[in-house]
Amino acid sequence: MKKPIKQQRKGSGGRKVTIKQTWQYHLLMLPGFLVLFIYTIIPFFGNIMAFQNFQPITGFLKSKWVGLDNFRRMLILPDTGRIFMNSFTIAVGKLVLTMVLSMVFAILLNEIGGVKFKKSVQTICFLPHFLSWVILATIFKNLLDTNGVVNQMLMNVGILKEPLMFLGSNKFFQGVIIATDVWKEFGYGAIIFIAALMGINPELYEAADVDGAGRLAKIWHITLPGIRVTVVLVATLNIANILNAGFDQIYNMYSPIVYQSGDIIDTYVYRMSFVNAQYSLATAIGLLKSVISFIMIVTAHGLAKKFANYRIF
């Protein structure tokens, strides 16, 4: 019998597995690889614009090479520091509050005895994750308008004397963005904590009942230590998204009046590219963000491996 010599791997039964025997599975994977190559690998080479004075009419090959001039220009622009700070502030606010609220929600849900009620609450809080920001932005704009429900309610109870421009004030815009995103995502974020809570040995709670421990004591001494590794893992992996403040949400909710507090890296790059046609500068800013995000990803996985014994490779 001719022995296979290429791509040999051992199956679950210890026998040799070759490409010839599994070509059907590789064929099924081919469309996914093509989509990944077309929409991820090929566009990656567009980063060359960051080192050129790119002109669409001349293309990549004939545009003038300027080296690091776009990066130097980026660093002296007054908007650069602001957009990076806005991105960092909004992203950190979203990540921290979403994780804390998701953990609290999961713990409270775990304390509910009724299975049907528990599932109903979980489903209701889970559904907003699947709604598009195009839809939600319209809803929140109507609710937070000067003539909207929120302002009318606050004025009726005497908290406000005149309506506030929640989405038209640099004082409130970041808070509104963070609060609405946390409302949308905390139910989905609670899934991993609910799964971690299900892994806690129920005998620990039974032993605590015998010792006369109350609900708060059991949460403090059993529940929280039981999900400690999960909390550390989620926190460290979130570091990778430290500059992803949410383009879809902000683009659909902001306006020029709140650029000072609401303009982030992604919206600034979009405006520089498709409105001002400064493709090289926008690419340089986006490339810098990608480099920082890559460093954050490597750092996050290093911390996850150290503190939570988690690793992908």
pLDDT given for residue 313 in this prediction: 56
The low-confidence residues of the chain, meaning pLDDT below 50, are 1-9, 11-12
Q: List pLDDT tens digits, range 288-297.
A: 888 888 888 8
**Contact at 8 Å (CB) between 192 and 218?**
no
pLDDT given for residue 176 in this prediction: 93
pLDDT given for residue 14 in this prediction: 55
pLDDT given for residue 185 in this prediction: 92
pLDDT given for residue 102 in this prediction: 93
Terminal alpha carbon distance of the chain: 36
pLDDT given for residue 7 in this prediction: 46
* CA dist., res. 206 & res. 66, Å (int): 70
Helix H segments across the chain? Answer: 19-36, 42-44, 59-62, 69-76, 78-111, 115-126, 133-143, 149-156, 173-198, 202-210, 215-218, 224-226, 228-238, 247-253, 259-262, 265-274, 279-307
* CA dist., res. 227 & res. 219, Å (int): 11
Q: List pLDDT tens digits, range 66-86.
A: 888 889 988 888 888 899 999
Comparing CA positions, the residue from 297, 244, 242, 240 lying closest to residue 269 is 244
**Domains of the chain, CATH where assigned:** 9-65 (no CATH), 74-307 (1.10.3720.10)
Amino acid at residue number 285: I
pLDDT given for residue 174 in this prediction: 93
pLDDT given for residue 6 in this prediction: 46
